[in-house]
Amino acid sequence: SRLIILGAAEQLESLNNFVTTVPIDISQVVGDLSVEVPLDVPPGLEVLNEAGDTIVAVRVEIEVVPRTGTLNVTRPVEILNEISGTLSFDLETIDLVLVGPIPVLDEIEANPELVRVFINATELENLSPGQTITVLLSVTKPDEVTVQLVPATVQVTLLE
């Protein structure tokens, strides 16, 4: 919302087009916060709301989100669904760069099964023995995390 500030010109210029509030302690806040906060207005200035009423505080809405971090992990390539025959990969493991809230990344470090790299074997049904194809890898991960695979594909060969 808009505020109207009344006062002497030199005092108004000293505000640099904004009014501050008293500090808000968010050190113990876990979720979102809605709080009435007193304005920190220099003496001699008056603050009015859009209706022209004098106000001394404003309602502040604060959204607290975890800090974002990056986590580098390596995962083996898994096969989802069974296929007859033996498969060979040009890479047995894939490097992943995970970006997300630090608490979620900490959870992934504690429980590596939360992030898995796999190939769906149904994509390999038409593969002939000795044939090699490039397959795009899939990842299971927590929704809050984005992932970059290095590389994003592997060469798969169906052995005799």
45-75, pLDDT tens digit by residue? Answer: 899 888 989 999 999 998 887 889 999 999 9
The sheet carrying 153-159 orders its strands as 86-89, 153-159, 132-136
Measure the CA–CA gap between 129 and 108, rounded to whole angstroms. Answer: 37
Residue-level pLDDT at 98: 97
**Whole-number pLDDT of residue 7:** 87
pLDDT at residue 72, rounded to an integer? 96
Query: Residue 143 — very low, low, confident or very high, per pLDDT cuts 50/70/90?
Result: very high
pTM of the model as a whole: 0.63
User: First CA to last CA across the chain, in angstroms?
Assistant: 72
Predicted pLDDT of residue 94: 94
Average pLDDT over residues 84-101: 88
**Is omega for the bond preceding 151 within 30 degrees of 0, making it cis?**
yes
Label residue 17 by pLDDT band (50, 70, 90).
confident
More confident residue, 74 or 127: 74
Residue pair 77/43 in contact (Cβ under 8 Å)? The answer is no
Domains with residue ranges and CATH for the chain: 4-62 (no CATH), 68-159 (2.170.120.30)
Does the structure show a pLDDT above 80 at 83? no
pLDDT at residue 36 tops 90: yes
- Distance (Å, rounded) from C-alpha 33 to C-alpha 31? 7
Residue 20 has pLDDT above 90, yes or no: no
Closest Cα to residue 111, out of 140, 152, 148? 140
Residues 6+ apart with CB under 8 A from 148: 96, 97, 99
